[in-house]
Chains A and B, each alone.
Chain A
Amino acid sequence: MSPCRVFLVDDHALFRAGVKAELANLGDERIEVVGEAGSVNEAIVRIGADPPDVVLLDVHMPDGGGRAVLDQLHPTLPGVVFLALSVSDAAEDVINVIRGGARGYVTKTISGRELADAIVRVAAGDAVFSPRLAGFVLDAFSDKPSAASVSDPELDLLSPREREVLRLLARGYTYKEIAAELFISVKTVETHASSVLRKTQMSNRHALSRWATERRLV
C-alpha cells in the first residue's frame, strides 16, 4: 500500500515545520508529507494542481480560514479528505469546518502519534472525533424540548447507539475501546461515527447552526 500523501495548510510556518518534523520523526511509512501552503489562495492553487490524499487544514487563517479552502476545493475534489487542525476549540469554528466538509477535527496539542493515526483513519474514509468535538455534537443534537426544529428525523436525530458511541468518544475512548465496551466490532463503531459526522454535516436542524453561533465554549 502506497503511503498516504499529506498536505499541510497553516499560516504559521513554524507550526508547519513542527508538524512535518514530528511526522517525519515517527518514521511512519504510512504517511508522506507532499506539500504545504501558508495561505488560503496558495492552498487552493497547490492542492488543485496536485491533489493529495489528506489535507491537514488550519481553521484560523486570513482570507476566510479553513472554511474558505473547503468551500473552494471540497465540491471539485471529492477524493481529497480534509482533517481540521486548530487551537481554537470554539464551538462555532468546530461545527463550521465539519459542516464545510472536513472529516474530522483535532486540536493542535495532539501528539504526533495520535495525529498520524488520525490521518490514516480519515484517509481510510472514517471520521475522527476529538473528545471535544464529540461533546459539541452531543450538545448540538441534545434531546432538549425543541421538537419543532426537527424536520427530518433521519438527519436531525441521533440513534441511541450513535449517542452511546459519541458519549464514549467524549469520555476519551478510542474506537477499539468503544468496540470492547459495547461488544461490537471496530468497523461498526466506525460506521456509527461516520453516520454522526454525516448528520452533523447535512442536518438542517435549526438548533445546530444557532447553537454553534450562540455558544462560545472554552
Chain B
Amino acid sequence: MSSSEILRTPDGMVALVRPLDGRVLAGVAAGVATHLRLPVGVVRVAFVVLSLMAGAGVVAYALLWIFVPQVQSDGPVAGAGTGAVAGAAGAALPRAAAPAERRQAIGIATLGVAILIAALALGLGRYMGVLVAPLAVVAIGGAFIWREADETRRERWRRTAAGFARPGRAALWRIVGGITLVIGGLAVFAVGQLDFAAARSALIAVLLTLVGVAVITVPWLARLVRDLGAERRERIRQRERAEVAAHLHDSVLQTLALIQRQSADPREVQRLARSQERELRAWLYGPAGYASEARAADGAGAAGGWTEAWTEAWVAAWVGGESDGWPGGESTDGLPGNDGGTPRTTSYSAGSQTPSQPCPQTLAAALAQVSGEVEDAYAITIEPVVVGDAPMTPHLAALVAAAREAMVNAAKHAGVQEVSVYGEVESGAASVFVRDRGSGFDPAAVSPDRRGLAESIRGRMQRHGGTAQVRSSPGSGTEIVLSVPVSADTVSADAAD
C-alpha cells in the first residue's frame, strides 16, 4: 500500500476504499484488510468461506465492489493499460498484487470451488446455507449497536477488537478452543435436529455453544470492565490534579507575584515567603490538610464543631489582650532595651482578629496560629514545637494570649530573626516557653508599672491560676516561661487509646 494519501475515518482508522495496488480482482479484499488491519489472506479466506454458505461471500463481495469507492494511489502508473482484464482471478493494473500473493489468492479461491464441488457431490448442498441466517442476524444486530454507540465507546471497542484480532499465544488457543466448541455445539445441534433425537442432545448442543461463546467473550468483556475502571481512576486523578493546580494558583502563584513586586524590601519578602510556607504546610500536612485522610470528613463539620463558649473566650482573651496590653508608645514599653523594633503594623491590631479566621480547637493549633500572626506582623521566624495537646479552655486561651505577648516582645525588642516557642501539656499543667537569643534585659530593672510584662503576661496568667517567669539578662537573650494547670481529663490522650 502506498503510505501517502491515505484516507482516514474521523477516528484514525484507514478508510474503507478499494486500492488499485495490491489487488487481485477488484481490491475489495485488500481494502477490507487495510481497514481492519488484518492480513489480506485472512479476509480472502473469510470471503471464500462465506461464499460456501449459500453464496453469501459472493454477494458481500459484489456489494462492496459496488459501494466502496476506488482510490487512485500514487504508485507508478506506468503499467496502466498494458493488461486489460486478464482472466477471472487477476487484473493486471498498476502495481497489482505480487505474483506470490496472486497465486495465494487464486489458490484460496480454487480451494473454495473444490470444497463446493465436493460438498455438492456428497449431497450436502442444502446444509451449506444453515449458518447464513444466524450470521446475518448477528451482523445486523452488531451494526445497530455500533450505530448507537458514542465515539469513545467505539474507540474502546476498536482497541479491544484489535487485541482480539491479533491475539497473543494464550489468547489464540483460547479463541481456537472457543470456536471449536461453538462449531461443535452447532454441529451437534444440526445433527440432533436432523435426527429428531432426544432433547438431551439439544441440551448438550446449547451447553457447548454457551461454553464456547463464554471462552471467547468473557476475557474481552472483562477487559471492557477493566477499561471502565481505569477510566474512572483517571477521572479522579484529573480532579485531584485540578484541585492542586487551583490551590497552587490561588496561593503560591499569588505570593510569588507579590514577592516579585516587593523584591526591594527584604523584610516584606521574608514575611510573604514565610506566611506562604506556613499556609502551604498547613494545607499539605495539617490535620485538615490536603494529604490528611480525615479531610473529607472534616471539611463540613469543622466550622460547626467549635463551641460557642470557647469562641467567646477566645474573643474575650483577644480583646482583653489588646486593651490592657502594650500601649504601643516606645516610652511605656514593658521591656527596656533597643527601640529598633518594628513599628506596629496595621495588621497587628484588634481589627485583624477577624472572625474569618477560625478559632483553633486545641492548644497546638492555637499556638501555631498566634505564631503565624506574629511572624506575619513582624517578619521574623517562629517555629512552635508542641508536645502533647489539649482541647482549648479559657485558661489555655489566656496562656496562648500571654505567649503571644511574649512573642511580640521578643519580635520587637530582642533584635533577632528567630524565636523559639515550645509548648507542652504534661502532668497536669500546660506550659509555653518563649525564648530568643537577643539582647536580653535585667528583669529586676523593669519598673513594676510597665504594663506589658506585668499585665498582659503576669497578670493574665495569675488571673487564670498560672504562673509566669522571666529569665533574662542583658546580652544572653530572654526566656519567658508560662504555665497554667489543666485538669487531667481534658488532656487529649495521644497514645492512650
Interfacial residues, chain A to chain B (CB-CB below 8 A): 88-90, 109, 131-132, 134-135, 138-139, 142-146, 149, 167, 170-173, 207, 211, 215-218
Contact = CB atoms under 8 A, between A and B. Distances in A.
B285 A135 contact: no
Given A145-B496, A172-B422, A132 B285 contact: no
Contact of A145 (B281, B292, B385, B493): B493
9 contacts: A131-B422, A134-B385, A135-B387, A142-B388, A167-B387, A171-B420, A172-B435, A216-B292, A218-B285
A108 to B, nearest CB: 11
Interface of A: prevailing SS: loop
Contact of B420 (A89, A146, A172, A217): A172
A90 B383 contact: no
B420 A144 contact: no
Interface in B291-312: 291-292
A171 B494 contact: no
Interface in B376-426: 381, 383, 385-388, 420, 422, 424, 426
A144 B422 contact: no
Contacts of A145: 493, 496
B388 A139 contact: yes
Given A89-B281, A171-B433, A216-B285, A139 B381 contact: no
A167 B424 contact: yes
Interface string B246-287: 000000000000000000000000000000001001100111
Interface residues of B, number: 28
Contacts of B386: 135
Contacts of A171: 420, 422, 433, 435, 479
Nearest to B437: A172
B426 to A, nearest CB: 8
B282 A144 contact: no
B291 A216 contact: yes
Interface of B: 278, 281-282, 285-287, 289, 291-292, 364, 368, 381, 383, 385-388, 420, 422, 424, 426, 433, 435, 479, 493-496
B184 to A, nearest CB: 53
Interface of B: prevailing SS: mixed
Given A132-B385, A216-B289, 18 more contacts: A89-B281, A135-B422, A138-B424, A139-B388, A142-B388, A142-B426, A143-B426, A144-B494, A144-B496, A146-B496, A167-B422, A170-B424, A211-B494, A211-B495, A216-B286, A216-B292, A218-B278, A218-B285
Given A135-B385, A171-B433, A172-B420, A144 B495 contact: yes
Contacts of A90: 285
B385 A170 contact: yes
A139 B426 CA distance: 10
B276 to A, nearest CB: 13
A218 B360 CA distance: 14
A207 B286 contact: no
A170 B496 contact: no
Given A134-B385, A144-B493, A216-B291, A89 B285 contact: yes
Contacts of B424: 138, 167, 170
Q: Pick the 10 closest A-B CB pairs, nearest first.
A: A172-B420, A135-B385, A144-B495, A171-B422, A207-B495, A138-B387, A146-B495, A171-B433, A139-B387, A90-B285
B433 to A, nearest CB: 5
Given A139-B494, A145-B496, A211-B494, A218 B286 contact: yes
A109 B381 contact: yes
A207 B496 CA distance: 9
Contacts of B364: 217
Contacts of A131: 383, 385, 420, 422
Given A131-B422, A134-B385, A172-B420, A218 B496 contact: no
B69 to A, nearest CB: 53
A218 B362 CA distance: 14
Contacts of A217: 285, 364
Given A89-B285, A216-B291, A218-B281, A142 B387 contact: yes
Nearest to B497: A146
Most buried by B among A89, A132, A167, A171: A171
Contacts of B282: 218
A216 B289 CA distance: 9
Contacts of A170: 385, 387, 422, 424
A161 to B, nearest CB: 16
Given A135-B386, A216-B286, A142 B494 contact: yes
Nearest to B419: A172
Nearest to B385: A135
A132 B383 contact: yes
Nearest to B287: A216
Nearest to B425: A142
A142 B289 CA distance: 25
A211 B389 CA distance: 14
Contacts of B388: 139, 142
A167 B426 CA distance: 12
Contact of B495 (A132, A142, A172, A218): A142
Contacts of A135: 385-387, 422
A211 B495 CA distance: 7
Given A170-B422, A171-B422, A171-B433, A218 B368 contact: yes
A162 to B, nearest CB: 14
A139 B494 CA distance: 9
A136 B124 CA distance: 88
Contacts of B435: 171-173
A218 B389 CA distance: 14
